[in-house]
Structure 1
Amino acid sequence: MQQILTYTFLVLYSVTILGIVLVIITDNRNPLKTLPWIIVLVLAPVVGLVFYFFFGQNLSKQRIISRRMRKRITLQLEEAEHAAGPEIPKAYRPLARLLRTTSHAVPLYGSRITPYTDGSSKMEALLGEIARARHHIHLQYYIFCDDETGRRLRDALVEKARQGVHVRILYDDVGCSGVRKSFFEGMRREGIEVHAFLHVKFPRFTSKVNYRNHRKIVVIDGRVGFIGGMNIADRYVRGTEWGSWRDTHFRIEGSGVAGLQVAFLSDWSATTKRHVSGSEYFPAAQRYTDNILQIVAGGPLGKWRALLQADSYAVANARRRVWIQTPYYLPSDVLNTALQTAALGGIDVRLMLPARSDSRLIDLASHSYLDDMMRAGVKILFYEPGFLHSKLLIIDDGLTVIGSANMDFRSFEHNFEVNAFIYDAEFTSRMSAIFSDDAARCHAVTPGEWFRRPRRRRWAESFMRVFSPLM
């Protein structure tokens, strides 16, 4: 009897492995991604099966956010009274069309954008806008901690809920895994609607643990919004034990807020299965400037990877400079090649990274990509005063990309992210000045210095590079 059970188990197990291999093959993924999964499943089936269950499944064909609902919400934006503006500069029209085709990103005109380069000023600005809220407050954060910063925001939201303002909160279930449930339950008891995005529940939803919502969005009364790299936690305000926390966040006023509203309401609908609509969520927008922007919600759903494609296209078509700030550099081959090609072609390519990040393992993997960047002529800058968590891409003199996405596999392939593509020379000049100010606090690494690092370090970097897609 035991022998029969053993044979039965082996047959079922083999069929399961072969079935998963068949699924991987028929997904038509990049062969460089398909082959490693097949090798792991065949040579180490137990470990491979566990890893595939958590990290390997492809969500692109699933309908977590239905196209019909997304179109319905976007239609509210298009029907809102937003004044027409100047045409997108000719050099960026193909990029704008690409973003509209892949992510339904509508060009929005005349927004006023205020940058914040430290957590304290951003929090004070956010709390000030919350105090002025009259109808609704929408918040979405990857991390929402139960610490002094989180409790200050919670108390401000509770006060507004008691005044009759509709408060809706989305948080990421993995990003907030260390937060006590009582923190969110307390807000629910005060009438605040609080939900976890892609709730991780074993075993049904554990396969989605690798797909997280990394967006940071605030929309208040449809008139002002916030986007950027800062979460809600003390470290974004106070820094770390070993240095300051250098980050960038933005307040948007005007028509650009409607783009943030679409991104939030799409996620809200997907999470709660309830549709929020009405003209009060898309009020007529005042025109403050001559800029044009597109709010792009990128994610693992559907065929296209809008943020990766757009960044790669923008880099490939740069004519003068490409300046980047990112806490992690774990790029796809397409983006990595585009940056090296630009540098080889004489474009001023600068990559600013933290001298020390919040993860030693990610540091090692990131640094493995820098050898070829150096050889191509990319200028590598290591920010020294603390942890650089800012996400910024500057192309030439007229395009700036800001938002939540890092330059890494996770942001481009697995996470739900939101970026703003801003076509405006004046704003690009302002952000270039901030970049240059940060550069003065950086150590510019020379090739001679870089290639003298210990061989043991290089081996460690090469080893960790293998795991880059999982970081």
Structure 2
Amino acid sequence: AALTRAAARGVRVQVLVDGGGSPTLPSDYWRDLEAAGGQAHIFNPLTFRHFSLRSHRKLLLIDDATAVTGGFNISLEYDGDGVTTGWRDFGIELQDPAALRQLAASFDHLFTHHLARRFLRHRWQHRTLLRPAYYRLPGPVLFSGPRLVRNQFSRQLLQTLRHARHVRIVSAYFAPSFRLRCALRAVALRGGTVELLLAGKSDVPLAQRAARSIYGSLLKAGVVIWEYQPQILHAKLAVVDDNVFAGTANLDARSLAINHELMVHFCEPRLATEARAMFAADLRHSQQILLEDWQRTRTLLTRFRGAIARFLLTTVDPWLARRQMRDAR
């Protein structure tokens, strides 16, 4: 209703929702908004043959002066404090001019190419599936997309971890690449501190099984793992010394190799201090996972389920995404 009222008074209102994230919206959901002069598109409408490539970005951009991004969607699940009710999530408000230019350009690009399979078919036919132009804009926003374009977030995170001393990461879904797991282990093995806050409750049980299946090698290296207990954890945050990464990407194959994502990166001590305080506050509602406790849970059936979950999420899902991108029609 608020968007419709804004459009009626002459504000340019554009809404882009993901076809996989909003599959139950009725066909006439945006009728009033469009009648008032607004525009609404579905990114890559969900079909059996085109279900994989998704936009996981969450962005509110107002007058090219203020932007909000983070893990939260517009949904009833987020109505609460994340402790007593509602999912645990957070975001970041931006007024940085460079970031606003990046975010506006990225939105315009996806809004124009919301029928992703047409865009992919054109790019494959012309052999030009490279980085979109907005990837090259200077600023603090790091973009992720299909593996066929450079993943700025994972590259920057890996680079930051090379000389890191203190690492704190919050990830709702955790199935990182072997290279990223090695980077986290390396920080701990050389005497740094690495703390991971992961989901004790999850809306995707398969993702939780995959995450728990790789705890062992991290715990043995000295990585400290916590699981958030009161509600479903949906937040995404990394604090590496004075570097803060916040946005929409999890540390899993889908965020790092398939989805359209965005993360904001600032190297700012004050912001890092605030992020560490927020991390510490969430630990009061979390349970530490000890190596001996984890080992006791690793029955043959648990190991089998974890291996299958990890294979599906880190191998099968990216393979299907690549096939669907090549077969876009």
- After TM superposition, the score normalised by the length of structure 2 is 0.83
Which residue identity lines up with residue 348 of structure 1 in the other structure?
T
Higher relative contact order (CA 8 A, sep 6+): 2
Deviation at 1:463, TM superposition (A): 2.5
Once the two structures are superposed, residues 317-374 of structure 1 have per-residue CA deviations (whole angstroms, 9 ceiling, x without a partner) of 31x1111001111111111111111111111001101211112221111111111111
Query: Could you list the per-position Cα deviations for residues 376-420 of structure 1 after superposition, in whole angstroms to 9, with x for gaps in the alignment?
Result: 110000111111111000011x21000000010000000000110
Give how far 1:219 is off: 0.9
1:449 aligned partner: 293
Contact 1:227 1:249 in 2 (8 A): yes
**Which residue of 2 is the match for residue 325 of structure 1?**
170
CA contact (8 A) 1:170 1:197 kept: yes
State the superposition RMSD in angstroms. Answer: 2.2
Alpha-carbon spacing, 1:301–1:457, altered in 2? closer, same or farther (3 Å): closer
Match of 2:92 in 1: 250
Tell me, yes or no, if structure 1 residue 359 matches structure 2 residue 204. Answer: yes
* 1:261 equivalent among 101, 104, 109: 104
Say whether 1:199 aligns with 2:55.
no
Report whether the alignment pairs 1:395 with 2:240: yes
2:77 pairs with 1:235: yes
- Partners of 1:303 and 1:243 in 2: how far apart? 38
The residue type equivalent to 1:412 in the other structure is L
Contiguous gaps of at least 5 residues in structure 1: 1-154, 274-291
1:454 and 1:419, CA in 2 relative to 1: closer, same or farther beyond 3 A?
closer
- SS of the aligned residue for 1:362 comes to helix
2:275 aligns to what SS in structure 1?
Answer: helix
Q: In the alignment, what sits opposite 2:266?
A: 422
- Given that residues 243 and 387 in structure 1 are in contact (C-alpha distance below 8 angstroms), is that contact kept between their aligned partners in structure 2? no
Distance 2:149 2:59 in 1: 24
Correspondence for 2:255 among 380, 397, 411: 411
The equivalent residue for 2:52 is: 210
Check 1:241–1:427 CA distance in 2 against 1; reply closer, same or farther (3 A cut): closer
How far has the Cα of 1:454 moved from its partner?
4.5
What residue number does 1:173 align with?
A: 19
Kindly indicate whether the alpha-carbon contact (under 8 Å) linking 2:71 and 2:235 is maintained by their aligned counterparts in 1.
Answer: yes
Q: Aligned partners of 1:454 and 1:323: how far apart in 2?
A: 26
Alignment partners' CA distance in 2, 1:179 and 1:303: 30
More helix by share: 1
Structure 2: runs of 5 or more not aligned: 119-137, 319-329
In 2, Cα distance between equivalents of 1:250 and 1:413? 23
Aligned to 1:162: 8
Distance between the aligned counterparts of 1:244 and 1:442, measured in 2? 16
Q: Which residue of 1 aligns with 2:325?
A: none
Q: 1:384 aligns with which of 211, 225, 229?
A: 229
For 1:81, the equivalent position in structure 2 comes to none
Tell me how far apart the structure 2 counterparts of residues 271 and 245 of structure 1 sit (CA, whole Å).
28
- For 2:113 and 2:204, the matched residues in 1 are separated by 32
TM-score using structure 1 length:
0.59
User: Structure 1 residue 271 and structure 2 residue 114: aligned?
Assistant: yes
Q: Secondary structure of the residue that 1:386 maps to in structure 2?
A: coil
Partner Cα separation in structure 1 for residue 81 and residue 303 of structure 2: 29
Give the counterpart letter for 1:264 in structure 2: F
Count of matched residue positions in the alignment of Structure 1 and Structure 2 = 293
